[in-house]
Amino acid sequence: MNRFLIATNSIKDENLNLTSQIEEYIQKQGGESFCILGDQTEEILYKLDSDKTFDCVIALGGDGTILNVSRDLRHLNLPIVGVNLGTLGFLTEVEPEQIFSVIDRLMKDEYELEERMNLYGHVIKGETNEIIAKDIALNDIVVTRAGFSRIIGLKVYVNGKVIDIYEADGVIVSTPTGSTGYNLSAGGPLVSPKTQLMIVTPISPHSLTSKSIVLSSEDEIVIEVLKMRKAQKEEAIVNFDGQPGIQLSPGDRIVMKRAKSVTKLIKLFDVTFYEVLREKIANHF
């Protein structure tokens, strides 16, 4: 590969110093590059020549940058290599000092591709039974309390059968990739990103027995918002990979299942998920 799209978090790459060095290095090696910044991805790409193609995306930032790239550039179906300018960086395999040797390897096609499962979800309005929103997430789909709600009631179905009713701050439905994110903070299990499954984890449940549930990737999950307070119209919010939330009222439902699309991550080093996990968490704490 020799055509690179560079997606940079300009807050983390101050003055675009590393971005400029990468662009200059790629050009010296006979490659081509094009840089886009943060939330400008969609706007700028639509202005590009329709014949302009790329071989991969170099994402400079943290895990949030990779999530944004996966979201905004999904229609290009490009593999992503992440350069860690953040803190933990479970998705960003490359450290800044390694990037130039990594570019050499990419140009020689010395890498592997790892496909990560995505979640698809759509929101059904309870009053009209209409789909009012739909989206895809690499990490998770999260239903949480809205406004000044104390706790919310959420009825969870799997393949049409009720598996639990939670009175809680919310519920996380996570992919294996997202198991190291909000799911981990809420006490959910860590799973290998190579697996194909979904994790349902309640957030601060008002119960002594509520635990995470691990489900098959072939299952369909539905979360229904229950009425908890007479005076409050909007009980909850749903968001996809931390994007701005969609307001939910009692009777609204979120239907979730494995998405048809996958996110392709470039793997360059022979390091297992468990080694990365041990190193990242040990260094962070």
The pLDDT value given to residue 41: 53
What confidence tier does 114 reach under pLDDT thresholds 50, 70, 90? very high
The pLDDT value given to residue 84: 92
Query: What is the pTM for the complete model shown?
Result: 0.90
Cα separations in angstroms, 101 against 14, 57, 91, 94, 117: 22, 16, 19, 10, 29
Catalytic: which of 51, 55, 63, 169?
63
Average pLDDT of the chain is 89
The pLDDT value given to residue 278: 76
Q: Give the integer Cα–Cα distance in Å for 147 and 262.
A: 33
Q: Are 67 and 145 a contacting pair, CB within 8 Å? A: no
Among candidate residues 17, 1, 193, the one with its CA nearest the CA of residue 91 = 193
Catalytic annotation present for 63: yes
Mean pLDDT of 134-147: 94
The pLDDT value given to residue 232: 60
Q: Containing H/E element for 274?
A: helix 273-284
pLDDT of 51 > 60? The answer is no
Span 263-283, pLDDT tens digits:
999 999 887 777 777 776 656
The pLDDT value given to residue 38: 64
